[in-house]
Every structure is written in structure tokens, then in C-alpha cells.
């Protein structure tokens, strides 16, 4: 009995000892924090993609991002928003001293205490440097209506920018800064871009500079009806790379760092990224940029046709032999297509060797040519393929190019002009004049309240009936300039004054 009690006591003592040891160990572990550090471990590429030679290559965006961000800039556009009720549209303070006494009776006087200072509206966008001397491509809507443009580079240097030219029909614009040896992006042939191809969107969305997002090309030849111009060209590259407000004018690049397109729009019910972004294809960008730099305006070629995209329903309705292409609905007066032998009911299926599957793709293909160019166009006519050589026209029905002559003067003023036709002149009871069709940052916006649509009839009291006459008055001009003219929808004559050296 005694031995049993001794044995039980020893067992109890052993259990107690084990319990105390376990408790001590747990408490010790609870008070110990271990932080591990791993140094020098490289990132492991886990995805692979086929390169241009069909070889497997690691899917790594770091080198591409590093190479392209330096050529993408931030653009700040500032616009003075004036209170029309308190600030006169035609302000006598803008008249240079030599003209003030003579023209003072034409201006409404308002005492200084009734005037309110204009508020400044600031917009933000992106741009891509295409030339080392400072030429930058961006969206037209980024620079439209701006009184001042400031460009900030990836290295944080800032420059004032001048508008070289704009093209609302493609929503593109070219601006320039005074800098040299800038990083640039090369353009690629956007016809070769394939759906499913990896791309990066680079820009400055939501105030976040030098942002890079990745995705794929999810579609081509998209028309989303956002451009309201008569000759608008919409054949966007669609991507699921995240694009937000501020990305406009930024770069869409491929895995070689080549510029695939200029990011322009998003499809979203909220105004923020919802899965779809759209970019102007690089081939259109290349043509527009070349035209704006060389001519100051885009040399737009047209076929002179009204078209619709062919689908199954239209093919059934019109008894067509194909289910894709661009159906010729009608031919305009002086149509280049009609002159070559193309007829209503034909379906355009190929332009210059490039397959055409929709009307946006036809617009994109033709937009890469200039008036006077000869283009091989293949159509399907009642089941048979026929080819035609079409000499393209301009919008006016001729094959002439728009001259760049005097464009430098208009760049300084920040205006585009066109001659007033005789019908409008008779309606307004004027001999003639030049109409301001577009305003962008320059002396006129900076110094006056002049609006688009203003018809200039006199410059410094000299009658002008054409753009050439307008330019001849201002070439070499220094000091004050006074513009006199009319608006179609406002009574009376109106006056604007500014200094050529302001």
C-alpha cells in the first residue's frame, strides 16, 4: 500500500514538472517576436509570352516602363473664365494707346469697381514627345479653349508650350516646347497590332504623374461616337489597360516600347475607369502629326461616299454576297469614288492591300492619305471582286493641298481662318472678310474676348477680304492691332485690340 502511494506521488510530481515546463515555454514564446529579412532575392518572372520571333520570353514590364515614362509628359491647361455680366465682351482697356482715342465711342464704358477678375479653370492631361526638338502630340480636347499651356517633363522640368496645330476630327493636337535632346517614343505600324496583344498605358491620371498600367488590346476599329465633327474619324484601338481622366493624350505602347496609339477616351457610366479605354491608332497619329508640323493643318482626303458597316442584317436586306465591309449608301457631288467607277451598292473590302471589315476601318484607311494620292480600292459588287484606282479629293472636291504659307503668323495669334463665301457676305451685308474658325492659345485669346465665328472685315482700318490679305497686313507688324468685324448672331460691329509684341 505504501509503495503504491509513493509511486502515485512520483507520477504526480512528474506531471507537475512537465506542466510547469510547458507553461514556461509557452509564455516565453508569447514574449518573443521574430522578424525575418530576405536580402537580394530577385523578382521571379512567372509568366511567359511569345516574342516577335515566336520564342518564349518572360513577361516583364519593368524595362519597358523605365524606357517609355521619360517621353510622356504632363500638360496643364489654364483658361480664364470671365463673368460676362460684369466684364464687357469688348473691353476698351485692350485698345493700344494710338487707337484708344479714335475708337473709344464704340465701346461700352464700365467703371473699374464693377469689373470682376476672371477665375481660372485648370485642366490636366498627358502628351507624348515625338521629336527631340520638343514636338509633343496630345489630344485636341486637352488643349482646346486653353489660354495657357504648361508642360512638365518626367524629370520635373516645366516649360510653356505653343500650339502648332489641332485636328478636332481625330481629337489630336501638336504642341511644342523650347527644349532639346528630349527622350522620344517611336511609332509602330498600328495595322500590325493584334487583338490580345499586351500593351501599357502611360500617362498622368487623376493627378498621379507617370502612371503605368497594363492590359491587352481587346478590340480594333471601334467607333464610339464621341467626336461631333462632320468629317470625324473614329477607329479606336480598345484596351483594358486602366485609363482615367488625365490619361488623355498619353501613350499606349507595345512590349517593344513602340507607340501603338494615343489614349483618348474611356467608356464608363461613372466617368472613371470601368474596363474599357480607347486610343487613336499610331498610323493616324503619324499622318496628322506630319501634316500639322509641315502644313499647319491636316490634309484630309475623302472618297466622297456615305457608308455603313456591313453586318448580317444589312447583307440580308441588300442581298449582299459578303457579311463584312463598308457598304456604299450614296455618292456625293464630285465624288472621287464615283469618278473611278465605284457605284452605290458596292461593298469596300480592301484599301491599299489592307482588309476592310467596317466603315470605321475604311475611314481609318483613307485618313492615312492626302488629297491627290492614288489608292487601290477593292469592292465586292454582286458577288464579284472589282478593283479601282481612286485619286482622292479634299473636302472641297479638288485635289489641292492646303498651303502652309503664313501659318507662323496665325500660330502666334492662335487662330485658324477661312475666307467668307459670297452667300454669307450678302446675308450679313458686308463686302467680305475672314472667319475665325478655331481659337487656341495665342495673342488673341490672351488679350481679347474674341469668340470663334467672328468675321474680321478690317485690320487697323484696312479692308481684308481673304486670309492672304489679313496676313499681308500683319506680317512684320509691331505694336497695337485693332480688329473690326461682325458676328452672324449679334447686331452691329465689334472691335478687339491687342499688341503684337505683348
Which residues participate in catalysis according to the annotation?
Answer: 141, 171, 248
Give the CA angle between residues 454, 458, 461 to the nearest 5°: 145
d(CA 4, CA 328): 111
d(CA 139, CA 163): 12
333, 336, 341, 346 alpha-carbon torsion, rounded to 10° = -80
- Of 347, 294, 349, 354, whose CA–CA distance to 318 is shortest? 347
Query: Is beta strand 276-281 parallel, antiparallel or unpaired with respect to 236-239?
Result: antiparallel
- Residue that is written with C-alpha cell 512567372 in the block: 46
Backbone φ and ψ for 209, nearest 5 degrees, come out as -65, 150
Q: In the 3-class helix/strand/coil scheme, how is 163-227 assigned residue by residue?
A: EEEEECCCCEEEEEECCCCCCCCCECCHHHCCCCCEEEEEECHHHCCCEEEEEEEEEEEECCCCC
DSSP annotation of 431 = S
Number of CB atoms found within 10 A of residue 468's CB = 13
Q: In the 3-class helix/strand/coil scheme, how is 289-329 assigned residue by residue?
A: HHHHHHCCCCCCCECCEEEEECCHHHHHHHCCCCCCCEEEE
235, 241, 242, 246 alpha-carbon torsion, rounded to 10° = -50
| 76, 122 Cβ separation under 8 angstroms | yes
CA distances from 126 to 87, 173, 211, 494 (A): 33, 12, 11, 37
Return the percent helix, strand and coil in the chain, to nearest 5: 25, 35, 40
| 463, 455 Cβ separation under 8 angstroms | no
Q: Containing H/E element for 423? A: helix 422-428
Amino acid at each position: 500500500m505504501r509503495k503504491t502511494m509513493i509511486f502515485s506521488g512520483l507520477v504526480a510530481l512528474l506531471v507537475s514538472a512537465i506542466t510547469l515546463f510547458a507553461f514556461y515555454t509557452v509564455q516565453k514564446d508569447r514574449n518573443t517576436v521574430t522578424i525575418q529579412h530576405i536580402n537580394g532575392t530577385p523578382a521571379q518572372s512567372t509568366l511567359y509570352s511569345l516574342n516577335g520571333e515566336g520564342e518564349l520570353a518572360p513577361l516583364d514590364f519593368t524595362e519597358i516602363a523605365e524606357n517609355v515614362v521619360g517621353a510622356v509628359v504632363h500638360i496643364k491647361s489654364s483658361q480664364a473664365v470671365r463673368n460676362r455680366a460684369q466684364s464687357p465682351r469688348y473691353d476698351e482697356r485692350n485698345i493700344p494707346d494710338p487707337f484708344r482715342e479714335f475708337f473709344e465711342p464704340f465701346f461700352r464704358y464700365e467703371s473699374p469697381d464693377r469689373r470682376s477678375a476672371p477665375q481660372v479653370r485648370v485642366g490636366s492631361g498627358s502628351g507624348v514627345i515625338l521629336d527631340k526638338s520638343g514636338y509633343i502630340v496630345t489630344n485636341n480636347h486637352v488643349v482646346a479653349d486653353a489660354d495657357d499651356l504648361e508642360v512638365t517633363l518626367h524629370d520635373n522640368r516645366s516649360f510653356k508650350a505653343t500650339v502648332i496645330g489641332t485636328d478636332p476630327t481625330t481629337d489630336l493636337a501638336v504642341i511644342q516646347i523650347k527644349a532639346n535632346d528630349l527622350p522620344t517614343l517611336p511609332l509602330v505600324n498600328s495595322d500590325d497590332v493584334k487583338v490580345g496583344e499586351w500593351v501599357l498605358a502611360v500617362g498622368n491620371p487623376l493627378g498621379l504623374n507617370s502612371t503605368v498600367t497594363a492590359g491587352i488590346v481587346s478590340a480594333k476599329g471601334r467607333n464610339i461616337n464621341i467626336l461631333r465633327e462632320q468629317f470625324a474619324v473614329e477607329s479606336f484601338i480598345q484596351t483594358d489597360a486602366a485609363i482615367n481622366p488625365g490619361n488623355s493624350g498619353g501613350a499606349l505602347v507595345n512590349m517593344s516600347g513602340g507607340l501603338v496609339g494615343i489614349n483618348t477616351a474611356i467608356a464608363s457610366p461613372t466617368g472613371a475607369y470601368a474596363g474599357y479605354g480607347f486610343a487613336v491608332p499610331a498610323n493616324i497619329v503619324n499622318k496628322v502629326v506630319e501634316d500639322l508640323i509641315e502644313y499647319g493643318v491636316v490634309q484630309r482626303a475623302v472618297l466622297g461616299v456615305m457608308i455603313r458597316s456591313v453586318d448580317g442584317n444589312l447583307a440580308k436586306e441588300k442581298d449582299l454576297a459578303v457579311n463584312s465591309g463598308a457598304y456604299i449608301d450614296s455618292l456625293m457631288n464630285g465624288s472621287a469614288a464615283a469618278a473611278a467607277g465605284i457605284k452605290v451598292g458596292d461593298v469596300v473590302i480592301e484599301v491599299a492591300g489592307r482588309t476592310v471589315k467596317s466603315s470605321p476601318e475604311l475611314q481609318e484607311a483613307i485618313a492615312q492619305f492626302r488629297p491627290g494620292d492614288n489608292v487601290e480600292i477593292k469592292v465586292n459588287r454582286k458577288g464579284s471582286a472589282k478593283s479601282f484606282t481612286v485619286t482622292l479629293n479634299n473636302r472641297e472636291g479638288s485635289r489641292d493641298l492646303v498651303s502652309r504659307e503664313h501659318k507662323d503668323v496665325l500660330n502666334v495669334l492662335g487662330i485658324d481662318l477661312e475666307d467668307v463665301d459670297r452667300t454669307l457676305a450678302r446675308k450679313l451685308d458686308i463686302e467680305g472678310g475672314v472667319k475665325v474658325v478655331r481659337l487656341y492659345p495665342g495673342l488673341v485669346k490672351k488679350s481679347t474676348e474674341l469668340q470663334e465665328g467672328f468675321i474680321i472685315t478690317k485690320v487697323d482700318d484696312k479692308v481684308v477680304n481673304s486670309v492672304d490679305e489679313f496676313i499681308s497686313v500683319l506680317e512684320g507688324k509691331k505694336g497695337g492691332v485693332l480688329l473690326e468685324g461682325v458676328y452672324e448672331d449679334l447686331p452691329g460691329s465689334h472691335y478687339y485690340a491687342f499688341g503684337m509684341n505683348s
